[in-house]
């Protein structure tokens, strides 16, 4: 198992790009040729995951980092970032991992361990952590295809970790996990589908201008956004209608569907369109004795240059850790 631990001086050391890669298990043959060297190519199963971010992206992100936590941590906190994608691999994964690490280092809110190996998700290893961050994990990211018992152990470890009182924070492709594909997807791991809040059905491709509505302007997790709403350019996920419900989660932000252009609305296939026009972007929920935070944006590296977005992620992780109190009652009673 390969992990990378953060320290207060990690921000400077991380600017040195390394080329050593490790794998949890042999990768299957790629569905299409792996991309040439570069930092902007997403790619499918079978290509090695890069574990380093472009230094220019790191520099731009660091310039936008908050200087202090939203609230002081109640104790020394530790966050485990799982960056293993078993399906589509986003090029922004290494940058998102560093975002978590540098947010913790800069503000003093937590310490971070980064791993690209799902073998880190065991009951014994998780005892040292207060929250897990799922970094655009895709497909069956916890599973060992050669060992059913290991798969079941990891799945139970994740669920027990959160339900037992710890936290889960997640970004973008974490919801593109454990579901079938096609115009009418179904969940393949119901407990996780409920834990994460929903599963992927469609996305507006990058770059699409998305008008964002602040659903709960009184929440400390949205205090960094203007209450009137704002605009975001990214690849924007939507969820299968029967997989997401405001009766279960507390919605923080959502697509202001009424303000979307007719042209952009038309890009969504009729089979994927929600009949209720409800496209949540970020939300929180209680899961047993624990907490879950999810943010749908985070596809493109430029998203991580934005001060409000980074502050939102800081607040979300501090909520998941149990340090930031917020109304997490379902949005629809």
pTM for this structure? 0.88
Per-residue pLDDT of the chain (333 residues; tens, 9 = 90+): 545 545 433 433 333 333 333 333 444 555 556 665 444 556 656 667 889 999 999 999 999 999 999 999 999 999 999 999 998 888 899 999 999 999 999 999 999 999 999 999 999 999 999 999 999 999 999 999 999 999 999 999 999 999 999 999 999 999 999 998 877 889 899 999 999 999 888 888 888 899 999 999 999 999 999 999 999 999 888 888 888 999 999 999 999 999 999 998 888 888 888 888 899 999 999 999 999 999 999 999 999 999 999 999 999 999 999 999 999 999 997
**Coil, strand or helix at 207:** strand
Query: Nearest 10 degrees: CA dihedral of 191, 162, 283, 106?
Result: -140
Q: For residues 157 and 82, is the Cβ–Cβ distance under 8 A?
A: no
Neighbours of 300 (CB within 10 A): 19
Q: Longest Cα pair distance anywhere in the chain, in angstroms?
A: 51
- Is the domain 3-321 a CATH 3.20.20.10 member? no
Q: Cα–Cα distance between 102 and 108 in angstroms, integer?
A: 9
Domain boundaries, the chain: 3-321
């Amino acid at each position: 198992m390969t992990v990378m631990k953060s320290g207060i001086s990690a921000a400077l050391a991380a600017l040195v790009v390394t080329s050593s890669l490790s794998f949890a298990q042999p990768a299957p043959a790629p569905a299409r040729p792996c991309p040439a060297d570069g930092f902007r190519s997403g790619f499918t199963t079978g290509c090695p995951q890069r574990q380093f971010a472009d230094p220019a992206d790191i520099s731009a992100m660091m310039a936008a980092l908050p200087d202090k936590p939203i609230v002081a941590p109640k104790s020394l906190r530790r966050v485990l970032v799982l960056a293993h994608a078993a399906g589509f691999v986003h090029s922004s994964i290494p940058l998102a991992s560093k975002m978590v690490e540098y947010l913790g280092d800069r503000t003093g809110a937590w310490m971070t361990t980064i791993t690209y190996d799902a073998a880190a998700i065991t009951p014994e290893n998780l005892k040292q952590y207060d929250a897990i961050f799922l970094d655009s994990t895709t497909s069956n990211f916890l599973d060992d295809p050669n060992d059913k018992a290991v798969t079941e152990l990891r799945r139970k470890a994740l669920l027990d970790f959160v339900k037992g009182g710890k936290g889960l924070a997640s970004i973008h492709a974490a919801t593109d996990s454990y579901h079938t594909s096609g115009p009418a997807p179904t969940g393949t791991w119901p407990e996780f589908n409920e834990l994460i809040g929903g599963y992927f059905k469609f996305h507006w491709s990058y770059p699409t201008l998305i008008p964002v509505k602040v659903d709960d302007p009184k929440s400390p997790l949205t205090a960094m956004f203007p209450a009137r709403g704002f605009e975001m350019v990214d690849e924007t996920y939507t969820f299968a209608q029967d997989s997401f419900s405001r009766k279960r989660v507390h919605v923080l932000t959502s697509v202001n569907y009424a303000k979307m252009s007719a042209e952009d609305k038309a890009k969504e296939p009729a089979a994927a369109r929600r009949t209720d026009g409800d496209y949540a972007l970020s939300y929180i929920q209680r899961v047993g004795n624990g907490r879950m935070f999810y943010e749908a944006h985070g596809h493109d590296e430029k998203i991580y240059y934005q001060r409000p977005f980074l502050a939102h992620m800081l607040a979300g992780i501090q909520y998941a850790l149990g340090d930031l109190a917020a109304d997490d009652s379902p949005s629809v009673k």
